[in-house]
Amino acid sequence: MTERVFNFSPGPATLPLPVLQEVQQNLLALPGVGASILEISHRSKTFEQIIAQAEENIRRLLNLPEEYHVLFLQGGASLQFSQVPMSFLRGSGRSADYIVTGSWAKRALAEAQREGDVRVVWDGKGDNYSRVPQPGEVQIDPRAVYVHFTSNETIQGIQFATGPETGDVPLVCDASSDFLSRPIDVKRYGLIYAGAQKNVGPAGVTIVIIRQDLLEQVPDNLPTMLNYRVHAEHRSLYNTPPVFAVYIVMLVTRWLLENIGGLEQMHAINRQKAQMLYDAIDRSEGFYRGHAQADSRSLMNVTWRLPSEELEAEFVKQAKEAGLHELKGHRSVGGIRASIYNAMPIEGVRTLVEFMEHFRQKHA
């Protein structure tokens, strides 16, 4: 019997146990195939069914209209930071609007600035990136080629309730850390990209959802591997895709559909888990101090400080001894961060809340 801890890593992150068990069971040979998922051709019928099923699961979970394509790419969100402006901004003679809410939005901005003119239409620096803009607070340029935002900032632990209103300007979203964690109104988006390693799979595959009209704008002169249209035309099989990572995405999205029941149910569970932690912070009489402002609290990454850095180090150390791993906050924010993506069970959060109460009683 292998002992598993509660893993609060911000990503790569914990995966659903039934998924891991199925992967393990079939690791030497897929049933009826005689070879491991790690060994089969991406041109085989077996894999064509797997990637088609992964796409179909995502379509069902998001109620995706026909005019949206689902791509399975490589390079992480970090490559998308460049691929988006290379596709739509470079050479357009116009500018793109960026909403800067934290560490990841800043990285996206920096890559866009290499490719063309960019306007920062909101920056949370004055509030130490503790909140997202509220509706009406952001003035979009109606001539912008697109508006880019980061739906959840993993490092700061802040999250948009819904994305900004952009009218006819295409909305582009880095959804790496809250993709498929709740329903979204897809029709408001032109392009959504997400590294899989938080909510939907292991590191190594990036999911891009792109609307047909944007696909048609992609210039022909890009490197072939950076051309969304090529990947759409080849259904992500222009070259060898990350077969194993796509397989896990298929299993995780199936788990979302069959074990959880869809994104409404997943959202309810995620709200419940986050509420348990924010309640523990709020009733701690100032011992735990959340980083995020109340209206911007993330359901995925809960960040908080303790009265001293010594106590924070002690908290992380004792938590680990109690089987609660990877709770150290990012160095740029400090303190504690509990990442509670889809696959973190309620039991893990309950155990953490109990640990928080005990720790506070001992050290307050």
Q: Which two tokens stand for residue 296?
A: 């911007």
Q: 175, 151 in Cβ contact below 8 A?
A: yes
| Contact pick of 62, 76, 87, 304 for a copy of itself (by CB under 8 A) | 76
C-alpha span between 187 and 210 (Å, rounded)? 11
Candidates 233, 248, 161; CA nearest to 200 is 248
Q: Does the footprint of a copy of itself cover residue 119 (CB under 8 A)?
A: no
Closer residue to a copy of itself (CB): 14 or 130: 14
Candidates 75-83, 268-276, 286-294, 347-355; binding stretch for a copy of itself (CB under 8 A): 75-83
Candidates 4-12, 57-65, 268-276, 347-355; binding stretch for a copy of itself (CB under 8 A): 4-12
Closer residue to a copy of itself (CB): 169 or 207: 207
Please provide the DSSP assignment of 215-273 as one string.
HTT--TTS-GGG-HHHHHHTTT-SS---HHHHHHHHHHHHHIIIII-SHHHHHHHHHHH
| Contact pick of 124, 157, 163, 202 for a copy of itself (by CB under 8 A) | 202
For residue 191, give every residue at least 6 positions away whose Cβ sits within 8 Å of its Cβ, in sequence order, or none: 84, 146, 170, 171, 172, 173, 208, 209, 210, 211, 214
Catalytic residues, by residue number, are 104, 174, 198
| Contact pick of 111, 153, 178, 312 for a copy of itself (by CB under 8 A) | 111
Give me the least distance between CB of 34 and a copy of itself, in Å please: 4
Q: State which amino acid sits at residue 93.
A: G
| Contact pick of 239, 259, 293, 308 for a copy of itself (by CB under 8 A) | 239
C-alpha span between 171 and 200 (Å, rounded)? 22
Give me the least distance between CB of 55 and a copy of itself, in Å please: 18
Closer residue to a copy of itself (CB): 6 or 149: 6
Backbone angles phi, psi at 246, to 5 degrees: -65, -40
C-alpha span between 330 and 156 (Å, rounded)? 8
Cα dihedral across residues 296, 181, 56, 74: positive or negative: positive
Q: 272, 348 in Cβ contact below 8 A?
A: no
Give me the least distance between CB of 269 and a copy of itself, in Å please: 19
**Count, residues near a copy of itself per rule CB under 8 A:** 66
Q: Does the footprint of a copy of itself cover residue 2 (CB under 8 A)?
A: yes
Q: Does the footprint of a copy of itself cover residue 348 (CB under 8 A)?
A: no
Q: Does the footprint of a copy of itself cover residue 241 (CB under 8 A)?
A: yes
Candidates 72-80, 127-135, 293-301, 310-318; binding stretch for a copy of itself (CB under 8 A): 72-80
Q: 197, 245 in Cβ contact below 8 A?
A: no
Question: Which residues in this chain contact a copy of itself in the complex, by CB under 8 A?
Answer: 2-5, 7, 9-15, 17, 20-21, 23-24, 26-29, 34-36, 38-42, 44, 74-79, 81-82, 86, 110-111, 114-115, 195, 197, 202-205, 221, 223-226, 238-245, 248, 323, 325-326
